[in-house]
Amino acid sequence: QVQLVESGGGLVQAGGSLRLACAASGSFFSINVVNWYRQAPGKQREFVATSTRSGSTNYADSVKGRSIISRDNAKNTVYLQMISLKPEDTAVYYCNTISYGITYWGQGTQVTVSS
Protein backbone atom coordinates (compact mmCIF):
# COMPACT_ATOMS: atom_id res chain seq x y z
CA GLN A 1 0.00 0.00 0.00
CA VAL A 2 1.24 3.46 -0.90
CA GLN A 3 -0.07 6.82 0.21
CA LEU A 4 0.92 10.05 -1.52
CA VAL A 5 0.61 13.48 0.09
CA GLU A 6 1.31 16.64 -1.89
CA SER A 7 2.29 19.97 -0.37
CA GLY A 8 3.87 23.27 -1.32
CA GLY A 9 1.11 24.84 -3.36
CA GLY A 10 -0.08 28.38 -2.84
CA LEU A 11 -0.74 31.76 -4.37
CA VAL A 12 2.14 33.30 -6.30
CA GLN A 13 2.52 36.18 -8.72
CA ALA A 14 3.37 35.57 -12.36
CA GLY A 15 7.11 35.09 -12.73
CA GLY A 16 7.42 33.59 -9.28
CA SER A 17 8.39 30.09 -8.26
CA LEU A 18 7.16 27.24 -6.11
CA ARG A 19 8.48 23.87 -5.02
CA LEU A 20 5.90 21.16 -4.70
CA ALA A 21 6.55 18.01 -2.70
CA CYS A 22 5.04 14.55 -2.92
CA ALA A 23 5.70 12.46 0.17
CA ALA A 24 5.15 8.72 -0.10
CA SER A 25 4.39 6.40 2.75
CA GLY A 26 4.94 2.69 2.50
CA SER A 27 7.78 1.15 0.60
CA PHE A 28 9.30 3.78 -1.63
CA PHE A 29 11.56 1.14 -3.08
CA SER A 30 8.54 -0.50 -4.69
CA ILE A 31 7.98 2.69 -6.62
CA ASN A 32 9.79 3.17 -9.90
CA VAL A 33 8.01 5.97 -11.70
CA VAL A 34 6.48 9.00 -9.99
CA ASN A 35 4.53 11.50 -12.07
CA TRP A 36 3.14 14.96 -11.56
CA TYR A 37 -0.17 15.84 -13.20
CA ARG A 38 -2.32 18.95 -12.99
CA GLN A 39 -5.94 19.81 -13.53
CA ALA A 40 -7.18 23.31 -14.20
CA PRO A 41 -10.84 24.24 -13.67
CA GLY A 42 -12.98 22.89 -16.48
CA LYS A 43 -10.09 21.02 -18.07
CA GLN A 44 -8.89 17.45 -18.15
CA ARG A 45 -6.04 16.31 -15.96
CA GLU A 46 -2.77 16.61 -17.86
CA PHE A 47 0.72 15.21 -17.51
CA VAL A 48 3.39 17.57 -16.18
CA ALA A 49 6.55 15.61 -15.39
CA THR A 50 7.87 12.17 -14.56
CA SER A 51 10.81 10.76 -12.62
CA THR A 52 12.14 7.21 -12.59
CA ARG A 53 14.19 5.56 -9.88
CA SER A 54 17.14 5.41 -12.26
CA GLY A 55 17.08 9.17 -12.59
CA SER A 56 15.36 9.63 -15.92
CA THR A 57 13.03 12.57 -16.23
CA ASN A 58 10.56 13.86 -18.79
CA TYR A 59 8.45 17.00 -18.99
CA ALA A 60 5.40 18.26 -20.79
CA ASP A 61 6.23 20.88 -23.38
CA SER A 62 4.18 23.42 -21.43
CA VAL A 63 6.58 23.30 -18.46
CA LYS A 64 9.84 22.21 -20.12
CA GLY A 65 12.65 24.60 -19.27
CA ARG A 66 10.68 25.99 -16.29
CA SER A 67 10.44 22.88 -14.12
CA ILE A 68 12.73 20.39 -12.49
CA ILE A 69 11.54 17.10 -11.02
CA SER A 70 13.78 15.48 -8.44
CA ARG A 71 13.54 12.79 -5.81
CA ASP A 72 15.04 12.13 -2.40
CA ASN A 73 14.77 8.41 -1.75
CA ALA A 74 15.98 8.85 1.82
CA LYS A 75 12.96 11.06 2.50
CA ASN A 76 10.57 9.13 0.24
CA THR A 77 9.78 12.41 -1.47
CA VAL A 78 9.58 13.67 -5.04
CA TYR A 79 9.79 17.39 -5.73
CA LEU A 80 8.63 19.60 -8.57
CA GLN A 81 10.42 22.92 -8.71
CA MET A 82 8.63 25.40 -10.95
CA ILE A 83 9.96 28.81 -11.95
CA SER A 84 8.72 31.62 -14.18
CA LEU A 85 5.18 30.68 -13.31
CA LYS A 86 2.38 31.82 -15.59
CA PRO A 87 -1.34 32.30 -14.91
CA GLU A 88 -1.98 29.26 -17.12
CA ASP A 89 -0.06 27.15 -14.61
CA THR A 90 -2.96 27.63 -12.20
CA ALA A 91 -4.30 24.18 -11.35
CA VAL A 92 -4.48 21.48 -8.73
CA TYR A 93 -1.26 19.50 -8.91
CA TYR A 94 -1.32 15.77 -8.19
CA CYS A 95 1.39 13.18 -7.87
CA ASN A 96 0.82 9.66 -9.08
CA THR A 97 2.53 6.32 -9.10
CA ILE A 98 1.89 2.67 -9.83
CA SER A 99 3.00 0.02 -7.40
CA TYR A 100 2.42 -3.70 -8.01
CA GLY A 101 -0.16 -2.84 -10.63
CA ILE A 102 -2.16 -0.46 -8.45
CA THR A 103 -2.42 3.23 -9.36
CA TYR A 104 -2.17 5.72 -6.52
CA TRP A 105 -2.99 9.44 -6.49
CA GLY A 106 -2.48 12.05 -3.85
CA GLN A 107 -5.17 14.50 -2.80
CA GLY A 108 -3.59 17.37 -4.74
CA THR A 109 -2.20 20.79 -3.90
CA GLN A 110 -3.60 24.03 -5.33
CA VAL A 111 -1.31 26.34 -7.28
CA THR A 112 -2.71 29.74 -8.18
CA VAL A 113 -0.69 32.18 -10.28
CA SER A 114 -1.93 35.74 -10.38
CA SER A 115 -1.22 38.06 -13.30
pLDDT per position as a tens digit, 74-108? 888 999 999 999 999 999 999 999 888 889 999 99
Question: What's the burial of 6, exposed, middle or buried (CB within 10 Å: 0-12/13-18/19+)?
Answer: buried
Which among 57, 56, 114, 54 is positioned nearest to 89, based on CA atoms? 114
**Mean predicted confidence (pLDDT) in 10-34:** 88
pLDDT in tens, 25-76: 876 556 789 999 999 999 999 999 999 988 899 999 999 999 999 988 888 8
Taking 80 as the threshold, does the pLDDT of residue 23 lie above it? yes
Q: What pLDDT is recorded for position 8?
A: 98
